[in-house]
Amino acid sequence: MSTLQLDPHRALPFPAEQRSIAWEIYGDTKDLPLICMHGHVEPEVLADDVPFADPAQLLIVPDHYVFRMLASQGIEPARLGVPRLDGGPVETDSRKIWRTFCENWKLFRGTPSRYWLEHELVEVFGVDQVPSAETADAIYDQIAASVADAGFRPRALLDRFNIEVISTTDSATSDLRHHAKLAADGLGERVLPTFRPDAVAYLDRPNWRADVAELAEVSGTDTATYDGFLEALRTRRAAFVEAGARATDHGHLLADTTPMEVDAARELYARVLSGAEPSPAEVDAFAANMLYRMAEMSCEDGLVMQIHPGVLRNHNTAIWETYGLDKGYDIPIQTEFTRALRPMLDRFGTDPRFRVILFTVDETVYSRELAPIAGTYPSVRLGAPWWFLDSPEGMRRFREYAVETAGFYNTSGFVDDTRAFASIPARHDLFRRVDAGYLARLVLEHRLSLEEAVETAIDLTYNLPKASYARP
């Protein structure tokens, strides 16, 4: 039976001379603390600090990177234990879910998920067997024993994984009670909230009116008018700042930041709040207006703005209606940034109070649009490869496309953007290895000295993420 082992040189360049230099650079970054300034680990996981349930509930059910690959081969989410919105039947036997995953291990060949999963299995759980139908139960038992240990509680993992700081993503209507508990327990500067107002920025969301009402309740501000709505958002942002937040996050479909005339925004808001259905053009116009208004507020309160556009979410209507959000059916679209961001950057792009980090899943815009923008406007940082580009080849292409124009120091450093807690170290490790390989090439081409390459690697790994998310 073959054994599962991690080659120490994995994901480093193949040519021997480049690999040797990359290994030296990586050696100076591999043990640095993890700065996790954008992610989706739920705050209650850390606030309540309860043990993880079992291997399937930890590694498969919550991770759409994993179950979307299985779904692409006809294995329905219900067979993998993904809960239905209507409470209908799904597989509840975690051992069966785990067996299904192990039986289909070969599907992950060549994917970043394979890298992350192998890292987790070996480094986190000490597994030395390759997942298969024959080894599924033994691996399950080994991981189950690990998660049952007190040393595997979520808070203990902060230390084990060497996580210096981690941000969660929280809706504008969150009462932040979990963060209050964390602060009371001495973790308020280590686990930070991030303000995400998407639910109230899109007028066509099914629960928009209910979310606006909840915003009024949690903020103590009347949202019956557009002006009251904006004031309620300011109030909530202030509460997030008080709780330690460094950033906002905006997962809009488009990057458009065109502001609406105030009277037009007031009229549209009142009409939709009273029950009228907005047109698609009105939905897009209001969302663009909200990005502009959020940038305006960032100049007031110093929260760093993150924009993650370009994903058509819930592409499969039946999956969305059955299982809800974030179930692997979010598909990238072609995204335009130059004209879309001009209204916001024309007003705030050189304002020292403003900072925006731009992400994309359309890598055709790296060299054409985003790198020139980040290399021009002092308020802009170019975010790390995200989602489908959070991969070895995606990271390498990012450096090749962006660095020549933006440089290294107009980028944000790495963010892992994951809700799969146990995969966080693997994601950061992969980034450090890929960057080491890229920098080693620049050394061999006599474009950087080895000393400069090491300094740059440390900055990209540790110093830049901290600096990018420091409130201006």
Structural domains in the chain, sorted by start: 16-50+153-468 (3.20.20.140), 53-152 (1.10.2020.10)
Q: What angle do CA 247, 251, 255 make, to 5 degrees?
A: 100
Give the separation between CA 61 and CA 328, rounded to whole angstroms.
12
Q: Say what the pLDDT of residue 409 is.
A: 98
pLDDT given at position 2 = 80
Query: What is the pTM (predicted TM-score) of this model?
Result: 0.96
Residue 327 is predicted with a pLDDT of: 81
The gap between the terminal CA atoms of the chain, to the nearest Å, is 56
Structure tokens at 429: 């490790």
Residues in contact with 242: Cβ distance below 8 Å, sequence separation at least 6, in sequence order: none
Q: How many CB atoms lie under 10 A from the CB of residue 280?
A: 8
Q: Please report the pLDDT score of residue 1 as a whole number.
A: 64
Return averaged pLDDT per consecutive 10 residues of the chain, 472 residues in all.
91 97 98 96 95 92 88 93 93 96 97 96 96 97 94 95 97 98 97 98 96 98 98 98 98 97 98 98 98 98 97 90 85 97 98 98 97 98 94 97 97 91 96 98 98 98 97 80
